[in-house]
Amino acid sequence: MRELVVIGNGMVGHRLVQALCDRDSTGAWHVTVLGEEARPAYDRVALSSYVDGVSAEDLTLPGLAVDLHLGDPAVAIDRDARRVTTEGGRVLPYDALVLATGSVPFVPPVPGRDLPGCFVYRTLDDLDAIKAAAADAVARPGPGRRSAVVVGGGLLGLEAARALRSLGLSPQVVEIAPRLMPVQVDEGGGALLRRLVESPSGSHAGLAVRCGVSVEGIVRDRDRLVATLSDGVELDADVVVFSAGIRPADALARAAGLVTGERGGVFVDDRCRTSDEHVWAIGEVAALQGRTYGLVAPGYAMAEVVADRLLGGRATMTPAELDMSTRLKMLGVDVASFGDAQATTPGALEVVVNDPVAGTYAKLVISDDARTLLGGVLVGDASRYAALRPLVGSPLPADPVALIAPGGVELGADALPDSAQICSCNAVTKGAIGQAIADGADTVPALKACTRAGTSCGSCVPLLKKLLIDSGVQVSTALCEHFGQSRAELFEIVAGTGIRTFSELVSRFGRGRGCDICKPAVASILASQGAGHVHDGEQAALQDTNDHFLANLQRNGTYSVVPRLAGGEVTPEGLIVIGEVARDFGLYTKITGGQRIDMFGARVEQLPAIWRRLVDAGFESGHAYGKSLRTVKSCVGTTWCRYGVQDSVGLAVALELRYRGLRAPHKLKSGVSGCARECAEARSKDFGIIATEEGWNLYVGGNGGFTPRHAELLASDLDTETLVRYLDRYLMFYVRTADRLQRTAPWIESLEGGLDHLRAVVVEDSLGIGADLEAAMEAHVGSYADEWRGVLEDEEKLSRFVSFVNAPDTPDPLVRTREERGQPVPVALGMPGVGA
């Protein structure tokens, strides 16, 4: 038996050993692995999930039948004697040696970079140290706390910023290049990415970004750090994280006299063999024909080549064969690049579709004859990545503009040749997946198990589903990995069993502890079933940020206050109260497109006091924060308008009060117009009503947002009683059967038969469930209670409304405003003088 020593126990080293063990049926090699860290190999791609609560055990890669020495790195290589010496004094002989030492973080030579509070972002131990420092910072009261500086705006830099925000800090990103992610995206994509991450995204306030500047020095100012930038701006911070790139960990190889690349890394040929025929190098430490690669997919490809070679194969690889494609979500923004994303190929043409309104940027790089796809960049919407990336190097299947334009050509899996690489991380082709399906793999998990496709970054999973569907396999509608049921099925389970907690539901019908997909979805289901106040018991822990504080988080970390004005109607006394509240608490006020008055700029600890005054004046929550009914907009109808034919205001008020607080898969909006002139814009709403001489026309499935759509006529000339009955059925049918976060327009499209089927269910009661749907809605109406009144009457619920747990009356010092047009508006973090 021959001796193989692998120096490095990261993802690439683990992949090499796994591939070798799978193929070495004769037991030709005895494998010893040396790991620098004291823990087994883990998924470093998912490192940031450790901050979100994923355990180190969850990230650990499968164990292998090898001699594994952890916390005992190699310190010397004797190439003549073919021996490796470890820090602990072990001397290990080898017949073949593989260097998989990876990389080390690059820390710019900034004075003060070694001060306490400065960290790198590379390992679980690094994250443990950052978490501890962040916890100390958040716990300390006083001005200027809870901030961080991230040096580097690339992949890891933005990941670090997201992690720091999750830990309760307000990070500012400093990137020396003129744009974020300069390696992966071009100038146009980088500009949009910056705008999107600086704007509010999901439950996060905007991120402060500084491009084109560097950190020139860091000093300690009492218990804080101050970073001075090249433009003279000073940023104060509790934590500074360096994530400015990586360098190959080639010191051991250099000391052993191996040839290294011009820019570092161990020089390897197309077999991944170094200048010593007995020594190989893979992953980030390897300079394949002089170039290093910082992604896991090229490292995996190298590992497969070396495993083949060690067993007598003839596998080779060249830089052109390495896939540098990436797809990830950065601070809630989809980003993807593939192939020649920067258009470096001579004569390459660039086709760009930039939609700043929708917040999307798409670019395809094609050959000079416009026939071959060379690469691309996607920002804001990367849904086409899975279909486009495998086409790199292949003839274009359609006009390039149509491939990336909204409403353009949708590529099916049948457009891909069998040689197309579906999973670049594991080099799995369409042909291999097709063979696996033919051999009986009929689910995505089964395909993952037998091909490894989708087991690394996961970006190819949507295409795996398409391939299954195209093969005639019915794909699972599971809500997430913790529930095998769809949202609609879980709704029926909750309704049928009377379950009122997430923990009981997941223990009886799911597995694990849940995630950020299933928890809010189940919270919505429980709320729609009358499971009590959203802050009761464990329900409070299921809510996202907005529902957690019954208010919408804004870009500067403050919240909006939106009292309900049913139908847009408000008394003079009510207006006076709203004005006095806005004045006394220094809030920005605005009349919205939904005919409500929003007040912006409230700090967390101010929300109860604000709402106490509003509730005492007769107002209730406007549900601007929930996946529920927002508004029923109206014109003035017959009350005032000489063209009106019905009382649109009265109906709008009645409908908004009837359906207020109705939790749904997505937010709902409505409008009532008093005549065909349509001043309430009812046909752009999820359900809209337009008056006729005979009664009301009911329209459904209208949506604004990224994909605007007009509502379609469901029924005409209805009396008010019939209209309400149909609306009860329509809304409750939607609540029961739609997927998570599915708006009414795509929900109707997804129904077999579309609008005709919906009309049969709602109007004709074809399923015989009309009475049940109506009863469910009556139960909701009868059980409705104002959520803010419920908070004000419960001291335990009130206790959550603080900026600092250990200093409840201390305002967040990072919330600052300036005056614009006579009103307070936020000062963005990162502006000169802010955070300094």
At residue 459 the predicted structure's pLDDT band, cuts being 50, 70 and 90, is low
pLDDT value of residue 223: 81
pLDDT tens, 656-665?
999 999 999 9
Q: Is-contact 331 302, C-beta < 8 A?
A: no
Q: Give the largest Cα separation in the chain, rounded.
A: 101
- Pick the more confident residue, 603 or 612: 612
Q: Does the pLDDT value for residue 210 go beyond 90?
A: yes
* Binding site listing for [4Fe-4S] cluster: 635, 641, 675, 679
Instruction: Give the tokens for residue 78.
Output: 């004797």
pLDDT value of residue 824: 84
Q: Is-contact 564 660, C-beta < 8 A?
A: yes
pLDDT value of residue 356: 82
pLDDT value of residue 709: 81
C-alpha 205/C-alpha 36 separation (Å) is: 38
* Binding site listing: 635, 641, 675, 679
What mean pLDDT comes out for the span 687-703? 94
Q: Are strands 279-281 and 286-288 parallel, antiparallel or unpaired?
A: unpaired
> Which of 91-95, 451-455, 829-833 tops mean pLDDT?
91-95
Q: Does the pLDDT value for residue 293 go beyond 60?
A: yes
| HEC sequence for 61-91 | CCCCCCEEEECCCEEEEECCCCEEEECCCCE
pLDDT value of residue 832: 39
- The CATH 3.30.413.10 portion of the chain extends over 627-785
Q: Does the pLDDT value for residue 789 go beyond 90?
A: yes
Q: What is the CATH number of domain 2-103+248-316?
A: 3.50.50.60
Q: Is-contact 97 47, C-beta < 8 A?
A: no
Of the given ranges (83-97, 137-151, 566-580, 672-686), which has the lowest mean pLDDT?
A: 137-151
C-alpha 192/C-alpha 49 separation (Å) is: 25
What mean pLDDT comes out for the span 532-540? 75
Q: Does the pLDDT value for residue 21 go beyond 80?
A: yes
pLDDT value of residue 257: 96
What mean pLDDT comes out for the span 668-680? 93
What mean pLDDT comes out for the span 344-348? 92
What is the Cα 584 distance to its own chain's centre? Answer: 37
At residue 836 the predicted structure's pLDDT band, cuts being 50, 70 and 90, is very low
Q: Does the pLDDT value for residue 598 go beyond 50?
A: yes
- Pick the more confident residue, 800 or 275: 275
- The CATH 1.10.10.1100 portion of the chain extends over 412-473
What mean pLDDT comes out for the span 562-576? 92
pLDDT value of residue 460: 75
CATH class, domain 412-473, is: mainly alpha
C-alpha closest to that of 278 among 310, 314, 316: 310
- The CATH 3.50.50.60 portion of the chain extends over 2-103+248-316
What mean pLDDT comes out for the span 287-305? 88
pLDDT value of residue 833: 39
Kindly list the distances between the CA atom of residue 616 and the CA atoms of 460, 600, 607, 660, 661, in Å, as whole numbers in the listed order: 54, 20, 14, 19, 20
Q: Computed from CA positions of residues 468, 474, 480, 484, in that sequence, does the dihedral angle turn out positive or negative?
A: negative
Q: Is-contact 196 179, C-beta < 8 A?
A: no
User: Domain 627-785 belongs to what architecture?
Assistant: 2-Layer Sandwich (3.30)
* Binding site listing for siroheme: 679
Strands (E), 527-581: 552-553, 559-561
